Amino acid sequence: MAGLSSSLLPQSGWTELLPESAQRTFRRGGYYSVDVSRDLRVIVLNTALYYNKNMRLLSADPDPAGQLAWLRAELEDRQRPTIVTAHISPGFPHWDTQRTSLKEIYNEKLLEILTAPQSGQQERIANIFGHEHIDTFQNVYRDRDDLAFEKHTYALNTFFMAPALIPGTLTQDVNPSIRSYALNGPILNDYVQQHFDLEEANAAHRRNSSINPADFWKVTYRAREAYELSDLTPRSMHLLFKMVRDDDQVFRKYMRFTGGMHGSPHCDATCKRKRLCVMSNAVPKMMRECLNSGSSVVASMVMVVMAGLVARLG
């Protein structure tokens, strides 16, 4: 696979942002790593290489642009805790339970690397992605037939999907949003989500064309406070997934957050089942089992309905 043109970097200004070592891999395939401080490294992947709509990618290539081998080597470097980020995450997009966002072979390879055991300063602080255009997350669990979901006490990894500035997706209206992450040493401690209130801003603009856009940016929520979490480690995010699955109030809160507080997204039982399967299954085999059996999901929804009836009868 051909690398990026060497003339691209000077024209785009990347030479002013990246050290020479990062520029070399950027030219090769659009990926790089940088040391942000003595205590933090950021690895930026080009997962568009593996996108399922990338028709120029030869599926026979085991490692396009050498990115996977490079990533393994980077994560074996124990010098600094690391954040891994990219545009498209492994797993399924929230709008499609039939095929993974990345071509299946690369989806599995990338998952294998990102869920490999961690130790010492090799610890990965977080995995941050976009592409979804909504506020969501995906937990990755062990793919073992003999381990029921309820026996999991933590996720192998969590992929955080931040929403976008674009006001809408293919299936949902959303407010433009931005997110700020907070670290506590090598731990992802919290994040603050903010949204731009389009409805309020449009109404104000109809009354007065000289409005200040900054007045319509609002704090959507603070993750730890909103979900009552101690931190955002994979163990905590496993507990959060169980709350979203089992507690209808938490699920409705999650759905409101997905669109940046734009309206009240409708999500019936089928919608909820698909969303929960996407949030907890990253490979086709596990996704099919989740969609076809749905036992834990259905059971949780039945319990929610029963609890609601008991509360009303009481």
Q: What does the alpha-carbon distance between residue 139 and residue 56 come to, in Å, rounded to a whole number?
A: 30
**Per residue in 77-97, pLDDT tens?**
767 889 999 999 999 999 999
What's this model's pTM, rounded to 2 decimal places? 0.84
Q: Where are the beta strands (DSSP E) in 162-249?
A: 177-184, 187-196, 217-222
Angle at 306 between CA 305 and CA 310, to 5 degrees: 120
Say what the pLDDT of residue 13 is: 72
**In the predicted model, what is the mean pLDDT of residues 113-128?**
76
User: 3-state SS of the chain: helix, strand, coil percent to 5?
Assistant: 45, 20, 40
Indicate if the pLDDT at residue 208 is higher than 90.
no
Domains of the chain (ranges; CATH) run 1-131 (3.30.750)
Residue 298: pLDDT above 60? no
Cβ burial, residue 152 (10 Å; 0-12/13-18/19+): middle
Residue 284, pLDDT above cutoff 60: yes
pLDDT of residue 266: 85
Quote the CA–CA distance of 285 and 275 in Å, as a whole number.
16
